[in-house]
């Protein structure tokens, strides 16, 4: 009798557990369905291979290649991989805040979508795409109206989409002063306002060939080279460059070529650089290469021993004598 009662209890628990599991899966499926319906970017973001931003007469076209992102329009050049990847990843996390209107006939002018601020298109390697038209109008919560893929729906989305439409070509263009890998640098020659500095990589160690008695702090040299690799332009100079007061000339010998930067200051105190390979005239970001203006070998020398250790008495002999004395006492 007890066995029969236990069996009934087990069966009841299994039935109850089954219903609970069914409800859980049902709710989970509903949540997933709602999340999928709220997705704004429906193409897989990791498959996006081109992005086009259009606003008025301006068109920015970006294309992924095996080596990274390229800018195709308005000019052909390398693109900033991080900037383009961030644009796509951040777009992929966006959700539809609200479906404001879902009808066959919509007065688009009520939402500023008859003449949108602009549009942005994401195309994937799978042949799919999303086209977003973004309005100039916002609601009382400062969210903006949008239309996706010519759907007969008015969507409410984050106002950051207006920022994306307002992006300029310089925001996606590769602005690195040195477009080569830091690891390819074999030697460096810097001629600035205080003299000439030469560095050379020998057997994996940086040395000053014209000051061999100087021991260089390798981390300081690496930090210097990293600062050169990280230097960026604020903008590209098209047409005639301004008259410059020379500040320094930097020559780098790379694995298979030479690279030069002639850096100077204009009357407005902005710093400009004329670089080779590729040849550009750049207005630099504030402080981008300032440390090279008065850099000397002294700035890269290995630091001398600290005064605390210098001249400290050698206690090794005294310690040994004390140890011997203790043994004799025992």
At 187-234, the pLDDT tens digits run: 999 999 999 999 999 999 999 998 888 899 999 999 999 999 999 999
Place of tokens 């500023």: 112
Which band of pLDDT confidence, cut at 50, 70 and 90, is reported for residue 256? confident
At 98-111, the pLDDT tens digits run: 999 999 999 999 99
Question: Are 280 and 207 within one domain?
Answer: yes
Question: Are 108 and 135 within one domain?
Answer: yes
pTM, full prediction = 0.77
Question: Are 209 and 123 within one domain?
Answer: no
pLDDT at 266 over 60: yes
Tell me, yes or no, whether 9 lies in a domain. Answer: no
Question: Are 168 and 186 within one domain?
Answer: no
Tell me, yes or no, whether 77 lies in a domain. Answer: yes
Tell me, yes or no, whether 220 lies in a domain. Answer: yes
Average pLDDT, the chain: 87
Question: Are 214 and 96 within one domain?
Answer: no
Of 122, 138, 172, the domain-final residue:
172
pLDDT at 35 over 50: no
Tally the domains of the chain. Answer: 2
Question: Are 131 and 65 within one domain?
Answer: yes
- Going from the C-alpha of 264 to that of each of 30, 194, 207, the distances in angstroms are 63, 15, 27
Phi, psi of 197 (to 5 degrees): -125, 130
For 230, residues 6+ apart whose C-beta sits below 8 A from its C-beta are none
Give the pLDDT score at 100.
Answer: 96
Instruction: Return the H-helix or E-strand segment holding 28.
Output: helix 2-38
């Amino acid at each position: 009798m007890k066995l029969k009662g236990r069996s009934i209890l087990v069966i009841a628990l299994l039935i109850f557990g089954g219903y609970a599991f069914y409800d859980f899966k049902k709710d989970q499926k509903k949540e997933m369905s709602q999340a999928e319906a709220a997705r704004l970017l429906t193409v897989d973001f990791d498959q996006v291979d081109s992005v086009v931003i259009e606003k008025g007469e301006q068109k920015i076209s970006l294309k992924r290649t095996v080596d990274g992102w390229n800018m195709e329009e308005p000019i052909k050049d390398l693109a900033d991989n991080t900037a383009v990847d961030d644009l796509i990843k951040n777009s992929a996390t966006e959700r539809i805040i609200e479906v404001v209107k879902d009808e066959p006939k919509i007065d688009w002018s009520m939402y500023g979508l008859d003449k949108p601020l602009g549009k942005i298109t994401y195309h994937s390697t799978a042949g799919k795409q999303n086209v977003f038209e973004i309005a100039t109008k916002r609601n009382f919560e400062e969210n903006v109206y949008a239309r996706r893929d010519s759907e007969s729906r008015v969507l409410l989305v984050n106002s950051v989409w207006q920022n994306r439409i307002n992006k300029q070509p310089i925001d996606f263009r590769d602005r690195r002063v040195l477009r080569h890998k830091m690891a390819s640098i074999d030697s460096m020659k810097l001629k600035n306002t205080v003299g000439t500095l030469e560095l050379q990589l020998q057997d994996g160690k940086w040395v000053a060939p014209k000051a061999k008695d100087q021991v260089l702090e390798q981390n300081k040299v690496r930090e210097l080279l990293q600062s050169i690799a990280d230097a960026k332009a604020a903008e590209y100079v098209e047409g005639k460059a301004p008259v410059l007061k020379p500040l320094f000339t930097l020559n780098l010998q790379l694995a298979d070529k030479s690279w030069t930067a002639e850096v100077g200051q204009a009357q407005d105190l902005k710093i400009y650089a004329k670089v080779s390979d590729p040849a550009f005239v750049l207005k630099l970001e504030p402080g981008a290469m300032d440390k090279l203006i008065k850099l000397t070998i002294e700035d890269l020398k290995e630091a001398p021993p600290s005064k605390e250790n210098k001249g400290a008495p050698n206690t090794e002999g005294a310690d040994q004598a004390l140890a011997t004395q203790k043994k004799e006492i025992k």
